[in-house]
Amino acid sequence: MRAYFLILVAAFASSCSNSETYQIQVRVESDERFSSAELEARGWLDSPCDYTKFVDAKQLPTTGRNVVPGTERAIELDTYGSEVTRWALPTSVIPIGVRGGWLLVSQRTSVLAIHESGDLALDDTISPEIGPHEACSEAMEKFVGHVPGIGPGNSACWIFDDSESGKKRRIMFPLPCT
């Protein structure tokens, strides 16, 4: 029997000054506190990689360079493969662009903008379609196995043109679980 730790979903509805909330998908972390049946009774969905749930959030909480349990992470790399910026991500999203401190991700039929501080906003200036991007896989080597969720076969690194500055930015992120 699989057992899991139930994250406190209320933490996602932070005291951010933005009064709007956005529906995001989070996952539970493995632990011995809740059985599969208990999670399903609480509205968690059994997905291909773990149990997930859609929650309303104003902000994705971050703790410095770390990302709280239940979320994923995207990392901007410089040309030498060193970390520049880190974003918390909902589960099962794919980056489609960068605008300054904001990472734009495709989430079902909309584009969610995630600031490096964790603030969330909808972006209706671009399509949520995922287009072809130049890969930067060689820059990922130092992170594989050292950053949770980043591993061979389950991560990608794409190069985006920052729509604010025009500079090229390398974003490493976990691929959605299928």
Which of helix, strand or coil describes residue 168? strand
Structure confidence by residue, pLDDT tens digits, 99-143: 999 999 988 788 999 998 889 998 988 888 887 788 886 666 666
Q: Sorting pLDDT into bands at 50, 70 and 90, what band is 7?
A: very low
Task: Give the closest residue to 8 by CA, choosing from 31, 16, 126.
Answer: 31
The angle subtended at Cα 157 by Cα 156 and Cα 160, nearest 5°, is 130
Quick one: pLDDT at residue 5?
35
Percent of the chain at pLDDT above 70?
70
DSSP string, 80-109: TS-EEEEEEE-TT-EEEEEETTEEEEEETT
This prediction has a pTM of 0.76
How many residues are present in the chain? 178
d(CA 120, CA 23): 10
pLDDT in tens, 54-98: 778 788 766 555 555 667 888 898 888 788 998 988 888 889 999
Report yes or no: 107 and 45 within 8 Å, Cβ to Cβ.
no
Choose between 55 and 165: higher pLDDT.
165
The answer, yes or no, to whether residue 4 has pLDDT greater than 80, is no
The pLDDT of residue 14? 35
